[in-house]
Structure 1
Amino acid sequence: MKYNPDGTVNRYKARLVAKGYNQKAGLDYEETFSPVIKSTTIRIVLDVAVGCDWPIRQLDVNNAFLQGTLQEEVYMCQPPGFVDADRPDYVCKLRKAIYGLKQAPRAWYLELRNYLLTVGFVNSIADTSLFILRRGQSILYMLVYVDDILVTGNDVALLNMTLDALATRFSVKDHEELHYFLRVEAIRVPTGLHLNQRKYILDLLARTNMLEAKPVHTPMATSPKLTITSGIPLVDPSQYRSVVGSLQYLAFTHPDISFVVNRLSQLMHSPTDHHWQATKRLLRYLKGTTTHGIFLKRNNLLSLHAYSDADWTGDSVDYVSTNGYITYLGYSPVSWSSKKQNGVTRSSTEAEYRSVANTSSELRWIYCWNIKTRLQNGISMSLDDS
Structure 2
Amino acid sequence: MNFMEEKGFERTHAEPCLLRRIDNNCTVVICVYVDDCLLTGDRKAIDAAIRDIGSGFEKRRLGPIEEFIGCSLVDLPDGNKKLIQPDMIKKIEKEFGESIIELKGNKVPMENELTVERPTEEDPVISPDDQKVYRSAVGMLLYLVKHSRPDLSNFVRELSKDRGVLIKPDKDQGVIAYCDSDFAGDKGNRRSITGFLIHLFGVPISWKSKQQGGVTLSSSEAEYYAISEVSMELKLLKMVMEFLDI
* 119-128 or 163-172, larger mean C-alpha shift: 163-172
TM-score by length of 1: 0.58
- Identical aligned pairs, as a percentage? 27
Instruction: Work out which structure has the larger RCO, using CA pairs closer than 8 Å and 6 or more positions apart in sequence.
Output: 1
Whole-angstrom distance in 1 between the partners of 2:153 and 2:53: 37
Structure 2 partner of 1:78: none
Structure 2 partner of 1:148: 36
Structure 2 residue 246 is the aligned partner of structure 1 residue 352: no
Residue 362 of structure 1 is aligned with which of 219, 223, 233? 233
For residue 171 of structure 1, report the CA deviation from its aligned partner: 1.3
For residue 354 of structure 1, report the CA deviation from its aligned partner: 0.8
* 229-238 or 215-224, larger mean C-alpha shift: 215-224
Whole-angstrom distance in 2 between the partners of 1:239 and 1:143: 33
For residue 298 of structure 1, report the CA deviation from its aligned partner: 4.4
For residue 165 of structure 1, report the CA deviation from its aligned partner: 2.4
Structure 2 partner of 1:157: 44
C-alpha contact 2:181 2:223 (8 A) present in aligned 1 = yes
Structure 2 partner of 1:255: 150
Residue 239 of structure 1 is aligned with which of 133, 146, 161? 133
Structure 2 partner of 1:12: none
Structure 1 residue runs of 5 or longer lacking an equivalent are 1-112, 268-291, 377-386
Q: Letter of the 2:63 partner, please give it.
A: E
C-alpha contact 1:310 1:322 (8 A) present in aligned 2 = yes
Structure 2 residue 7 is the aligned partner of structure 1 residue 119: yes
State how many pairs are aligned: 238
Which aligned runs of 4 or more in structure 1 are off by greater than 4 angstroms?
A: 221-224
Structure 1 partner of 2:80: 192
C-alpha contact 1:301 1:329 (8 A) present in aligned 2 = no
Whole-angstrom distance in 2 between the partners of 1:177 and 1:313: 47
C-alpha contact 2:7 2:52 (8 A) present in aligned 1 = no
Structure with greater helix share of residues: 2
Task: Give RMSD over aligned pairs.
Answer: 2.0
For residue 207 of structure 1, report the CA deviation from its aligned partner: 1.1
Could you list the per-position Cα deviations for residues 239-290 of structure 1 after superposition, in whole angstroms to 9, with x for gaps in the alignment? 11111111111101101110111111117xxxxxxxxxxxxxxxxxxxxxxx
Structure 2 residue runs of 5 or longer lacking an equivalent are none
Whole-angstrom distance in 2 between the partners of 1:299 and 1:309: 24
For residue 127 of structure 1, report the CA deviation from its aligned partner: 0.9
Distance 1:164 1:188, change over 3 A: farther
Q: Letter of the 1:264 partner, please give it.
A: L
SS in 2 for 1:169: coil
Structure 2 partner of 1:39: none
Q: Considering only CA atoms, is the larger Rg found in Structure 1 or Structure 2?
A: 1
Q: After the TM superposition, which residues 198-277 of structure 1 pair with which residues of structure 2 at under 5 Å, given as runs?
A: 198-210=86-98, 212-217=101-106, 218-222=108-112, 225-229=115-119, 231-236=123-128, 237-251=131-145, 252-266=147-161
